[in-house]
């Protein structure tokens, strides 16, 4: 499987521009939603839409909560007393919900993570949370895949990391070309997962070997 490194961003990219720019107020966010409703051709003051700007602003806080969390801090607590366990650890079928940065519509799918520990392991729930933190940002799937793998490599220092994401993009299924039933598969292999075909194949076999992948360099 080709590795996807296209659009890779620094894994611990602080908290993006949100930490450096002044965040618009709740009132400003709601006013922006009102404008979009009017632009779409409806009346934001009619009964069914009166509370919509507030609800949308609250929903966006949930959708994009990842901007306010530090992915590196999530992996800070590790376990070193692992009885010298050095075999592959795999967490598969992690539900993933993100948003395309080009149209801000949902990306829905699942992520698979594997790594070969080098003396330190992390709680499995932390890996799932890491996926969620990066997914709750405006993304392209290639970057999301790389961010997850690069952060695990940077913080845990394992002998190798593999991340595969399979997802459907509603910017493709609900608009534009409108092709349903299409999923995109991206992967990022580091260390022994990239250098050793046997390790890579073991990982792919454990997660069910997705049928295709994105191209990367």
Spatial separation of the C-alpha atoms in residues 171 and 177, rounded to whole Å: 9
Q: Where are the domains of the chain?
A: 1-217
**b/e for 31-45, b at 16 or more Cβ within 10 A?**
eebbeebeeeeeebe
Spatial separation of the C-alpha atoms in residues 189 and 111, rounded to whole Å: 14
Residue with tokens 């594997």: 114
The CATH fold of domain 1-217: GTP Cyclohydrolase I, domain 2 (3.30.1130)
Helix (H) or strand (E) holding 191: strand 184-191
Return per-residue pLDDT of the chain as tens, 217 residues.
433 333 334 333 434 444 567 889 999 999 999 999 999 999 999 999 999 999 999 999 999 999 999 999 999 888 776 657 789 999 999 999 999 999 999 999 999 999 999 988 898 899 999 999 999 999 999 999 999 999 999 999 999 999 999 999 988 877 777 777 788 999 999 999 999 999 999 999 999 976 544 433 3
Q: If 0-12 CB within 10 Å is exposed, 13-18 middle and 19+ buried, where does residue 182 land? A: exposed
Q: Which positions are annotated as active-site residues?
A: 100-103, 141, 169, 171
- Predicted structure pTM score: 0.83
């Amino acid at each position: 499987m080709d590795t996807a490194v296209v659009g890779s961003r620094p894994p611990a990219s602080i908290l993006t521009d949100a930490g450096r720019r002044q965040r618009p107020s709740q009132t400003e966010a709601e006013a922006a939603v009102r404008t979009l409703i009017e632009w779409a051709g409806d009346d934001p003051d009619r009964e069914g839409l009166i509370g919509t700007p507030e609800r949308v602003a609250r929903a966006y806080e949930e959708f994009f909560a990842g901007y306010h969390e530090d992915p590196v801090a999530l992996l800070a607590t590790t376990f070193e007393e692992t009885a010298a366990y050095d075999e592959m650890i795999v967490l598969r079928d992690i539900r993933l919900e993100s948003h395309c940065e080009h149209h801000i519509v949902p990306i829905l799918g699942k992520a698979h993570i594997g790594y070969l520990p080098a003396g330190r392991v992390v709680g499995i729930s932390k890996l799932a949370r890491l996926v969620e933190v990066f997914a709750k940002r405006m993304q392209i799937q290639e970057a999301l895949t790389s961010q997850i793998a690069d952060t695990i490599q940077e913080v845990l220092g394992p002998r190798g990391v593999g991340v595969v994401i399979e997802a459907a993009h509603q910017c493709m299924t609900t608009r534009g070309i409108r092709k349903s039933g299409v999923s995109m598969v991206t992967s990022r292999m580091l260390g022994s997962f990239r250098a050793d075909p046997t390790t890579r194949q073991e990982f792919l076999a454990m997660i069910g070997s997705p049928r295709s992948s994105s191209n990367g360099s």
